[in-house]
Amino acid sequence: MNPSTRGAETTALTVLTDADCPLCRSFAAWLGQQALLVPLEVLPAGSAEARRRYPALDHGRTLEEVTVVGADGAVWTQERAWVMCLWATRAHRGLAERLATPRLLPLARGAAYGAAGLRHLLGSGPTVGGDYADRCAGTCALPQG
């Protein structure tokens, strides 16, 4: 596995997600139902606990993009964060390993949504999911295309 140069050292992951974002909540709930190869904790981004544990992070940015922090202090954002979420799961580690390549990395976010059963949100515009567009203006917004 090579989601990053430090992936082999990772013994636990914390996933920081926007608790007010319906898509983030759905993805976090899905992660909570997965058989894991690496212990994983979902923590509300920007929360007092997140700020206490990770004072060096840009907490405003963690509200805009899923952020994963390893027990060793490694931080993954954007597509690499989605890969790490999949990498932690038993069922999707192989997919994560394939997505970690430079050619496939841009597809990581869509693959994570698909694995989580959120395919119905892909390509349907930001208004799908009720008030999603009104409640989440972060970069976790649905892919356009």
Instruction: In whole angstroms, give the CA distance from residue 35 to residue 41.
Output: 13
| C-alpha closest to that of 112 among 125, 102, 100 | 100
pTM of the model: 0.77
What is the pLDDT, as a whole number, of residue 3?
Answer: 55
What is the pLDDT, as a whole number, of residue 127?
Answer: 39
What is the pLDDT, as a whole number, of residue 120?
Answer: 57
What is the pLDDT, as a whole number, of residue 23?
Answer: 83
- Is residue 70 within 8 A of residue 6, CB to CB? The reply is yes
What is the pLDDT, as a whole number, of residue 123?
Answer: 52
What is the pLDDT, as a whole number, of residue 110?
Answer: 83
What is the pLDDT, as a whole number, of residue 124?
Answer: 45
Query: For residue 144, what is the DSSP state?
Result: P
Distance of CA 55 to the CA centre of its chain: 20
Residues 6 or more apart whose Cβ sits within 8 Å of residue 133: 126, 127, 141
| Residues lower than pLDDT 50 in the chain | 1-2, 4-6, 124-135, 137-138, 141-145
What is the pLDDT, as a whole number, of residue 111?
Answer: 85
